[in-house]
Structure 1
Amino acid sequence: MEQRLHEILMDGEQVRWTGRPSPFKLMRCPERNTFFVTWLLSGAAILLALLYLLPTLNSDQRGGADWFIMLVVVAFLPAMLSLRPLMDKLCLEKNTIYAITDRRVIALVKDDLMYIPLDQKPAVSVEGRDRDCGNLCFGEAVGCGSGNSRSNAVLGIRESSSQNDMLGMLFYHVSHPEQLLRYVA
């Protein structure tokens, strides 16, 4: 068992299953159409910013450093929106551990601990099937739709008063998710 997981277990808590997201291709995700729209709008925003800022480059009022700073500020948000799916993919595939114990379902995403106690009897569903992989959804993440699945896997659906105890979360793109249902029952 990974050291990161072992450190967050409660006294006497027994691990029934551990796993990670299976590698996945962004262009096969259900939300791929939103990627294209985001990339198109981000490209248009950067192009418009360039067209607006280019005349100021030729003027004597602003120096090259001012122009560069304005371009970076204007391009930052569209660039971050465009890169978000790639950053989420890397985070999920490299820095995420899932576990089902006798007490909780747990997701460790980077250093962020998320869990739902099993004594709350959370709703459980397999969604977003892709061959032998799928999303195992818990609590309020059940039925949220595929468009939110990646962000729910990275961030969870949080209760405002709790740092780690989630209202909903999901195990993203795990292999044979229907076989994991027996550990939650």
Structure 2
Amino acid sequence: MAEKELNEYLRKGENVRWSGRTAPFPLLGDKSREQIVLKWAVTAALTCGFLWLYCARDQAVNGKFIALVVLVAGLVIASPWMEQRSIMGQQYFITDQRAILMSRDKTFYSMELNGIDELRRVSLHGEADTLVMGGIIMGDIRKQLRWRACHPKTDMQGQKKQDEALGMVFYGIRDADLAESLLHGGQVRGKTA
């Protein structure tokens, strides 16, 4: 655990009541398999089709352009592994004041406990449960759960501090009951998806 970084981030008098990490999870889980395989197939098909059209024209072929297209396709195809690695490096904390996410690169995001307008528990078959905080991200959460776990929703207009999240995800935590209870001040409420 990165205690030094966390202690520097905590406010004076703020106490950690719970901490956790993401439990190991498969790349192609029950809920993500179809979406990831579809992403790979569409990316491969579009890349091959685009390169075929590009190479079939009567002009000279630019090797750098082809390499760029293949690189972009490769990044899209590799994105599920990058998301998994990023999520596995996260740490989560609930204090007496805030929910805090520390990313793999030691960047902090937080939400005030009294500012969490919606909390949903997402059950992933064969994986530990996930807690989703903030109504602003609920609409797309089933399609973008892992992406949103890597990218807490912040105020892009700059009216709040960069570390103040509007929505964030505690992905695949083992003791979700306790964390959910603490987020609700001891009363378990919210929705299960």
Q: Same fold (TM over 0.5)?
A: yes
- Residues 85 and 168 of structure 1, relative CA distance in 2, 3 Å threshold: same
Query: Which of 135, 142, 153 is the aligned partner of 1:157?
Result: 153
Distance across 1 between alignment mates of 2:48 and 2:115:
50
Distance across 1 between alignment mates of 2:67 and 2:5:
37
Distance across 1 between alignment mates of 2:27 and 2:172:
12
Distance across 2 between alignment mates of 1:88 and 1:29:
16
- Residues 14 and 99 of structure 1, relative CA distance in 2, 3 Å threshold: same
The answer to whether the aligner puts 1:147 opposite 2:143 as a matched pair is yes
Q: Residue in 2 aligned with 1:167?
A: 166
Distance across 1 between alignment mates of 2:20 and 2:139:
23
TM-score (norm 1): 0.83
Contact 1:45–1:75, Cα closer than 8 Å, also in 2: no
Q: Residue in 2 aligned with 1:43?
A: 44
Q: Highest CA radius of gyration, 1 or 2?
A: 1
Query: Which of 112, 131, 135 is the aligned partner of 1:136?
Result: 131
Contact 1:49–1:75, Cα closer than 8 Å, also in 2: no
Amino acid corresponding to residue 123 of structure 1 in structure 2: E
Q: Residue in 2 aligned with 1:182?
A: 181
CA RMSD of aligned residues (A): 2.4
Deviation at 1:84, TM superposition (A): 1.0
Distance across 1 between alignment mates of 2:25 and 2:142:
14
Higher helix proportion? 1
Moved over 6 A (4+): none
Amino acid corresponding to residue 108 of structure 1 in structure 2: M
Q: Residue in 2 aligned with 1:97?
A: 91
Q: Residue in 1 aligned with 2:121?
A: 126
Higher strand proportion? 1
Percent identity for Structure 1 against Structure 2: 22
Distance across 2 between alignment mates of 1:44 and 1:132:
31
TM-score (norm 2): 0.80
Write out aligned runs for 1:20-31 (5 A).
20-31=21-32
Contact 2:116–2:133, Cα closer than 8 Å, also in 1: no
How many residues get paired?
178
Structure 2: which 5+ residue stretches go unaligned?
A: 186-193
Contact 2:119–2:133, Cα closer than 8 Å, also in 1: yes
